[in-house]
A and B are shown apart, each in its own frame.
Chain A
Amino acid sequence: MKLNIGGITEAGLSKNNKTGTWRYQIPFIIEDNCNGCGLCEIFCPDSCLTIINKLVSVDTNYCKGCGICAIECNQNAIIMQSEGESSYE
């Protein structure tokens, strides 16, 4: 591959970097508490949270585990957990 002058290249390439690998914590969703309000979706700095059928889902490819969603959620539906734990207990 020849390099382009000025390092100018096609758009959207930042998606190639799976920045989720930087994470040491992951949002765990308590589905019974989530009312699908979408507050977490608005606050997520990496657009990793999406409301599907009134329930939040996490894009683990890019979620860096910052925990803003857990702090902003006023339904106590998100808890930050170390990766690999099966439940919030």
Chain B
Amino acid sequence: MNNSFIRNREIMQGSIAIAETVCSIQPGVIGVYPITPQTHIIEHLARLVANGRAKGKYINADSEFSAASIVFGASAAGVRSYSASSSQGLLLMTEVIFNMAGTRLPGVFSAVNRSLSPPINIQVDHQDTMTLRDSGIIQLYVENIQEAVDTHIQIYKIAEDREVFLPAMVCMDGWIISHAYEPVTLWQDEIVQDFIGQLDLPYRVDPQNPLTYGALTDDDKITEFKYMVDSALRKSKDKIKQVSEEFRECFGNYYGGVVEEYHTDDAEIIIIAMGSVVATIKVAIDELRKEGRKVGLLKIRSFRPFPGEEIIKTLHKAAVAIVLDRSFSCSAGGILGGEVKACLYNQNKPAVINYIAGIGGREIYPFNIKEMINQGEKMAENGKISDEAIFYNLNSELL
């Protein structure tokens, strides 16, 4: 890493670090509507725009639907654009995000993960962003504030690649990342902008050269259009790996490409998880490793595109995989758990145990992780692997 690339290095709040980073990227249009716990990001961005440091047009929308539509319109005009939301706000953006993916517009969103209502809960889980998973949007989940900062820079470059052109989202856990204070390195504006490059769309809205957006298509072509979105998202996987490497060369930080392997080489039990809980799992694994236990972690950094091949490659030697989900599809189990099982089905190995935990901010401590590992090991020894996802620490006295 070149020290002259550093703009600032101090202990700061996650949201402020993200706003400062977005300001370095200098999107031309910022369309936003406030919602907890995303508020501090857009509040600080508004301050930066008012101070004249951020040059973009800051638009206060009347809802998240409008905020996302502003990003749609700006992207269609060939302008780099940004928005952020959480929870119910992301659900209100959903229609627009499907539309952006289909129209192949590379707007970028910060998703500050929060539980969905009812009952109202402002704490973290992944149900909000998981509900967007089928849209075609790129979703990268981050572990800490520095990764959130660096992933925002990377994701613009990924989304705006000629082979990709898809909307993209950095998913960061509410409070644990957005409101915590950590030492953070911010990068020089020019270096960040040079790294990302220019946005160059093949089409853009231009009154002098009118085009049709959102055209009607019959069944003779619609499968092919949808397939094109699917294959662009698949291609973005290589781009994520490539941009992560380029970022390492330029800035020195690296978080894995689409996944990060942590002590997986000789591991018999591997935990799979994403988001801030990954840091807790690393602590638990370090402690178990000291006791000589062969445990490892596979961090899913890119949930969309889904790293199926990487999961198979890492897990094929393990006996047990424990998937920790912070969201679920009612009656079908954990969402990550279901997808991991699906990609391993033809491999016959390892056994997969799916825990649903950390819903609505319920804390996950290292001892919880150890308990899951111990339970999983026991299940595998007895040959009694639960087919159903297990709601971890469900309080039956309340039911």
Say whether A associates with B: yes
Most buried by A among B105, B212, B228: B212
A12 surroundings in chain B (CB, below 8 A) = 210, 212
Q: Is the CB of A6 within 8 A of B211?
A: no
B217 within 8 A of A: yes
Q: Is the CB of A11 within 8 A of B211?
A: yes
Chain B, residues 71-106, CB within 8 Å of chain A (1/0): the string is: 000000000000000000000000000000011110
B214 within 8 A of A: yes
A13 surroundings in chain B (CB, below 8 A) = 212, 215
Q: Which secondary structure characterizes the binding site on chain A?
A: mixed
Q: Is the CB of B224 within 8 A of A7?
A: no
B105 surroundings in chain A (CB, below 8 A) = 6
A10 within 8 A of B: yes
Q: Is the CB of B211 within 8 A of A7?
A: no
Q: Is the CB of B221 within 8 A of A5?
A: no
Separation of A29 and B228 alpha carbons in the complex (Å): 49
B345 within 8 A of A: no
A52 within 8 A of B: no
With both beta carbons as reference points, the residue of chain B lying nearest to A17 in the complex is identified as B216
Q: Is the CB of A6 within 8 A of B212?
A: no
A3, A10, A14: which contacts B225 (Cβ < 8 A)? A3
With contacts A9-B215, A10-B211, A10-B212 taken as known, whether A3 is within 8 angstroms of B221 at the C-beta atoms is yes
Q: Is the CB of B210 within 8 A of A6?
A: no
Separation of A14 and B211 alpha carbons in the complex (Å): 12
With contacts A11-B210, A11-B211 taken as known, whether A6 is within 8 angstroms of B217 at the C-beta atoms is no
The smallest beta-carbon distance between A8 and chain B, in angstroms, is 5
B window 189-215: CB within 8 A of A: 202-203, 210-215
B104 surroundings in chain A (CB, below 8 A) = 5-6, 8
> Contact size class for A?
10 to 19
Q: Which secondary structure characterizes the binding site on chain B?
A: loop
Q: Is the CB of B221 within 8 A of A6?
A: no
Q: Is the CB of A7 within 8 A of B202?
A: no
Chain B, residues 227-261, CB within 8 Å of chain A (1/0): the string is: 01000100000000000000000000000000000
Separation of A23 and B202 alpha carbons in the complex (Å): 39
B141 within 8 A of A: no
Chain A, residues 1-36, CB within 8 Å of chain B (1/0): the string is: 001111111111110000000000000000000000
The smallest beta-carbon distance between A54 and chain B, in angstroms, is 33
Q: Is the CB of B224 within 8 A of A6?
A: no
Separation of A18 and B260 alpha carbons in the complex (Å): 56
A window 32-81: CB within 8 A of B: none
Separation of A4 and B165 alpha carbons in the complex (Å): 13
Separation of A8 and B225 alpha carbons in the complex (Å): 11
The smallest beta-carbon distance between A78 and chain B, in angstroms, is 30
Q: Is the CB of A9 within 8 A of B212?
A: yes
Q: Is the CB of B203 within 8 A of A8?
A: yes
The smallest beta-carbon distance between B172 and chain A, in angstroms, is 28
Separation of A5 and B202 alpha carbons in the complex (Å): 9
B213, B221, B224, B232: which contacts A8 (Cβ < 8 A)? B213
B window 308-336: CB within 8 A of A: none
The smallest beta-carbon distance between A41 and chain B, in angstroms, is 24
Q: Is the CB of B228 within 8 A of A3?
A: yes
A5 surroundings in chain B (CB, below 8 A) = 104, 165, 202, 228, 232
B213 surroundings in chain A (CB, below 8 A) = 6-8
Most buried by B among A3, A5, A10: A5
Separation of A31 and B18 alpha carbons in the complex (Å): 69
A6 surroundings in chain B (CB, below 8 A) = 102-105, 165, 203, 213
The smallest beta-carbon distance between A19 and chain B, in angstroms, is 12
Q: Is the CB of B211 within 8 A of A9?
A: yes
B212 surroundings in chain A (CB, below 8 A) = 8-14
A3 surroundings in chain B (CB, below 8 A) = 221, 224-225, 228
A-B contact pairs, 6 of them (CB 8 A): A5-B165, A6-B105, A7-B214, A8-B212, A9-B211, A10-B211
Spell out A's residues near B (CB within 8 Å): 3-14
List 4 tightest A-B contacts by C-beta distance, closest first: A11-B210, A6-B104, A6-B103, A8-B203
